[in-house]
Structures are given as structure tokens and as C-alpha cells.
Amino acid sequence: MSELIQTYSRRAFVAGATLLGTQLLTGCARPEEPSTPQTQPETSTTEPKANEAVTAELEETIASQATGTGAGVIPFDFDKKTVELNCGIEMPIIGLGCYSLTDQEAHDSVVAAMQTGMRLIDTAHIYGNEEGVGQGIIDSGVNRDELFLITKLYMDQYSQAADAIDEALEKLQLDYIDMLLLHHPSDDDVTAWKAMEEAVDEGKLRSIGLSNYYEEEYSDFVKQVEIPPALVQNEIHPQYQESDVIPFITKQGSVMQAWFPLGGRGYTEEMFALETLNDLAATYNKSVPQIILRWHLQRGVVAIPGSANADHIQENFDIFDFELTEQDMSDIANLETGDKHEWY
């Protein structure tokens, strides 16, 4: 623990200027100059210096995250089942991931998710199912303004991002996308982001974010852009918990989201057999996936489990009638193995 905090103390000092600057950019639109001069607040000699305060608060968050007992610094509204993004719009905190689903499977899964009450759908250009997702949204009968749709640009689209955004809108049959992510870091990711910023100005995108960015990549990236990321989507599950990444990124105003929240295809059988998770499932009369998903939410991490099974989709959404204790959260934290199930 001390080594973790020492590492982050150094990072917090370096990131202090970035953090304080980023907090000024809290909207999805470009910042505007104030119409009237603003009076600068007086500096108190008794208050800690900016980066000292940042470091102290970050260390405290890191300590609680590392043990699994602390929620993210961006609060979730469990009554509304949403979180407010740094641009002021609300996003559901549990949804459907469409990775590896065919067009038809994605269509049927979206319809099933809408029927359960889910309103968050995640897809991507590289998944090859944006058309199925879009048709599923239409066939679900749910009003467009009730749902939150995430899709992603892949690296081979970055150099022509404006055209790729229009292509995604056409495939999805939507007038706007709620959240567009860059799928991976790349040499031209900033170029793509600037096109995404323009699309925000044009009303094609409501918010923008990143996928598979960690401390170093995130810190380098935000120094080069105007609109800060509203979301960072990474691999997170009980055996790969990102207890260092989560507080670092959420402290700077970006919500964290877990892809592979249940460990990912090919790894769930082993994870679902873990004694700790089965004991908790028995205690709360819930399934192991429900325990894991509830753990994510209580850590301040949005979860998007994937499934083509309507019963499983319903089960994944039924996680708001119980709450894990701090001891439960700590017990799950002890399942960390550092095993990352994908290369990115």
C-alpha cells in the first residue's frame, strides 16, 4: 500500500497542473470566455497549496480504492441509476455491452435490454453490429431521449474521423450519438479527437471519451485537447481491479466504465467458481454475476456486461435491491491477481 501511495504522490505532483486545468473544462462544448470580468478569490495563507491538497486527497482515495472499500470520487445516483458526466448530462450506470454479438444477436439483445429497463447500450465500429444495434433501438419502441448509446471509432478511422462519425450515425439510424469513444491510443488520436470536438459543436455527439487509456496515456492526451474526456472505458473485473487507475482518472473528472466486468468470455467459469463470490451470492440470495456487478457500481465503476441471453440481461439489471458491506467489498478486493484477459 505504501508503495502504491508513494507512486501516486509523484504522479499527483506532476499531474497537478493538468488536474486543476481540466477541472475548468467541465462541459462537452468548447469553453467560452466570460462575458464580464470575474473577481479572483483571495488566497488564504492557511490553506494547503494546490498540488499538496490534490496529493493528500488523491492518496486518501487511492487507499480506499486499493482495499475495495471506497467508491469513486464521482458519485452515482442509485435511485435514478445514473451518474452525471463532466459535461452535465446523465448516463446510466448499468448497461448492455455488444462486443462479439452478430447484427441479429445485437438487435435482439438491445430489444431485451430495453424491456428490462436498461437504457445504456455500448457498441463499436470494430464490432460490426452498429446496424443491428440501431435497428434494435428502433424496434424496442423506447423513446430516443430515454436511452444512452455509446459507440467507438477504431484506429483505422482516426485520420478520417469526421466521415467515420457520419458513417456511424447512418448505420445506427440516429441523429446524434450520446457518447463516442476513441477505441485505443494511437499516433493520430488527438487528430481524431479534434474532429470529435467539432462534432460536439455540430450536435452530432453529446459527449466524448476514451477506451483503453491508462495513467500515462491519459495524462499525455488531455494536455493536447480542449474538451476533457467524459468517460474512460477499460478492462476491469475482480481479478484485474485497476485500483490505481480508477482514482487517478476519476479524480480528474472522467467516469470509469468496465468492459469485461464479469471477466470476459472464456474466463467467467473460473471466476464464477471463486469461493468468496459464491459465499456472497448465498448471503444475499443473488447470483455471482449480480454480486460482481454490484461491486463495480459501489466502486464507482459503470458496468456494461455483454449477453445474448434475455434472462441473463434481466439478471444483470436486477442489482439495485441489495448493498454490499465494506467487509464484502474488501473481501472481493482480495481476489485481485493482476490477470489481464486482453492485450489492450
Which architecture does CATH list for 2-16+60-333?
Alpha-Beta Barrel (3.20)
Q: What does the pLDDT look like over 157-171, one tens digit per residue? A: 999 999 999 999 999
Active site residues: 127
In this prediction, residue 19 carries a pLDDT of 36
Q: What does the pLDDT look like over 98-107, one tens digit per residue? A: 999 999 999 9
Q: Considering only 27-31, 137-141, 173-177, 240-244, which range has the smallest mean pLDDT?
A: 27-31
Q: What does the pLDDT look like over 113-159, one tens digit per residue? A: 999 999 999 999 999 999 999 999 999 999 999 999 999 999 999 99
SS (H, E, C) the chain: CHHHHHHHHHHHHHHHHHHHHHCCCCCCCCCCCCCCCCCCCCCCCCCCCHHHHHHHHHHHHHHHHHHCCCCCCCCEECCCCEEECCCCCEEECECEECCCCCHHHHHHHHHHHHHHCCCEEECCHHHCCHHHHHHHHHHHCCCHHHCEEEEEECHHHHHHHHHHHHHHHHHHCCCCECEEEECCCCCCHHHHHHHHHHHHHCCCECCEEEECCCHHHHHHHHCCCCCCCCEEEEECECCECCCCHHHHHHHCCCEEEEECCCCCCCCHHHHHCCHHHHHHHHHHCCCHHHHHHHHHHHCCEEECCECCCHHHHHHHHCCCCCCCCHHHHHHHHCCCCCCCCCCC
In this prediction, residue 73 carries a pLDDT of 76
Per-residue pLDDT at 41 exceeds 50? no
In this prediction, residue 50 carries a pLDDT of 38
Per-residue pLDDT at 2 exceeds 60? no
Q: Considering only 80-84, 267-271, 290-294, which range has the smallest mean pLDDT?
A: 267-271
pTM: 0.82
What value does the mean pLDDT take over residues 68-84?
A: 83
In this prediction, residue 83 carries a pLDDT of 98
